[in-house]
Amino acid sequence: MSRLTQAVVLLLFGGAVLRASLTDLYLRYVKEGLRPFLIGAGLLLVATGLMTLWHSLRAPGTPSPAAGTEPDDGHGHSHEPRVGWLLILPVLGLLLVAPPALGSFAAGKSGSVAAPAAESDYPPLPAGDPASLSLLDYASRALFDDGRSLTGRTLRMTGFITPGADGSPMLARIVLTCCAADGRPIKVGLTGRPPLEAAANTWVEVTGVYSTERAKDPVNDVDVAYFEVRNWQEIAQPKQPYA
């Protein structure tokens, strides 16, 4: 691959990383706290690309072949492999066609995350009526505290709809450790008045109360908590789609 090709690839790749990290697009791929590192990496790639481009254009008459390429054969024919330009394709894909955040399909193929147990008593629920909870917090309190800290309170949670094994809707969010590659779902079953007409991947806000019902995730046999829905409404996907 020539220096000019390397420069173009570096500039495009760095530009794609910067475009994603300077907008909310990066939240589809990594956790929010990694944004400074993405910006730094993007700037470094762009700077390297500019330096490579400057070096390539500074002495166009005396190019030095990169490792793995052949010099001119003496007849004016360069044997530089053009396959190097294929490296631009994934970069263009990131620039032009940004894939959506992980959703119902990923949740259906992966077993639910085992809700973490608290090392001590659960703290009181947030103030307000209804009290807003994450799916992880609700599942942990429901499974390991037997709902004691949930009983008697009206609760509110948000997530996307994913079909259960029997086709009934479940509420889910994808939990990231680092990036989308290691994302796994946390699923909560729905009873009462669940959003039966909501399609998969629809983001909803549900309001209701703790349910004693439990089930097993057929994918990995992990306990799944249930939530009794009193009301629900469709909402837009939040800026931060992952838990």
Give per-10-residue mean pLDDT for the chain (243 aa). 79 88 87 91 92 80 49 51 70 75 90 74 86 94 90 95 93 90 93 94 97 93 95 94 87
Q: How far is CA 42 from CA 86, 163, 175, 205, in A?
A: 20, 38, 25, 36
The predicted pLDDT at position 27 comes to 87
- Global pTM value: 0.76
C-alpha 125/C-alpha 147 separation (Å) is 12
CATH number of 105-234: 2.40.50
End-to-end C-alpha distance for the chain, whole angstroms: 41
For residue 185, list its beta bridge partners: 174
The predicted pLDDT at position 68 comes to 47
Q: Where are the domains of the chain?
A: 3-99, 105-234
The predicted pLDDT at position 67 comes to 45
The predicted pLDDT at position 32 comes to 86
